[in-house]
Amino acid sequence: MGRNTWVAVFVGVLIVVGAVWLSTSQRQKQQTTQPAQTQVAPTESSATQEAETGEQAKEISVEGSEFKFTPNTLSVKKGEKIKLAFKNAGSFPHNVTVNELNVSTNTIGGGETDSVEFTADKTGTFEMYCSVGNHRQRGMVGKVSVE
Ligand SMILES: [Cu+2]
């Protein structure tokens, strides 16, 4: 092969290498910009969800059994939307009642669950209790502190 042929081959290789390098660097650029886009996306969608479904309730789980609540002290903030998820871990029927906060779950049997949502509109420490039979007197009580 003559000298011109070698030059042509060399230029051809340069072009191919250059094209591969360009496409690779473009791909890398796209990859580096993608995480930023995905970081933005969840914020937008969660903001949209909040606008659609309202404020997300903070979930607090309480278990009831003979004759106690676990935990037996709850802490919430005034104005905060709370979802109280009550599970009857005993065998008698139980519920959770807080008169001052207008909270009362359904009376449910052992192994069942019931949830109520509420927003405390005043600060203080209030008694939660089970209103079934004499469960309250037998110690099925706890405290809800609102600050
Ligand atoms: Cu009870």
Summarised one tens digit per residue, pLDDT across range 86-144 is 999 999 999 999 999 999 999 999 999 999 999 999 999 999 999 999 999 999 999 99
Distance between Cα 110 and ligand 1 center (Å)? 10
Query: What mean pLDDT is predicted for residues 27-50?
Result: 49
Query: 48 and 63 share a domain?
Result: no
- State the SS3 of 35-72: HHHHHHHHHHHHHHHHHHHCCCCEEEEEEEECCEEECC
CA of 95 to the centre of ligand 1 (A): 6
Mean pLDDT of the chain: 83
- Do both 6 and 64 map to the same domain? no
126 by DSSP, 3-state: which?
strand
Whole-prediction pTM value?
Answer: 0.64
Domain coverage including residue 45:
1-54
The verdict on 68 and 85 lying in the same domain is yes
Same domain, 68 and 139: yes
Distance 112 CA to ligand 1 centre (A): 13
The residue out of 27, 54, 81 marking a domain boundary is 54
64 and 4 inside one domain:
no
| 47 and 65 inside one domain | no
Give yes or no: residues 115 and 62 share one domain: yes
* Distance of CA 69 from the midpoint of ligand 1 (Å): 9
User: What's the CA-to-centroid distance between 111 and ligand 1, angstroms?
Assistant: 13
- Identify the band that residue 15 occupies on the pLDDT scale cut at 50, 70 and 90: low
Question: Which of residues 33, 54, 75 is at a domain's end?
Answer: 54
SS3 at position 108? strand
- In this predicted model, what pLDDT tens digit does every residue of 61-78 receive, in sequence order? 999 999 999 999 999 999
**Both 45 and 65 in a single domain?**
no
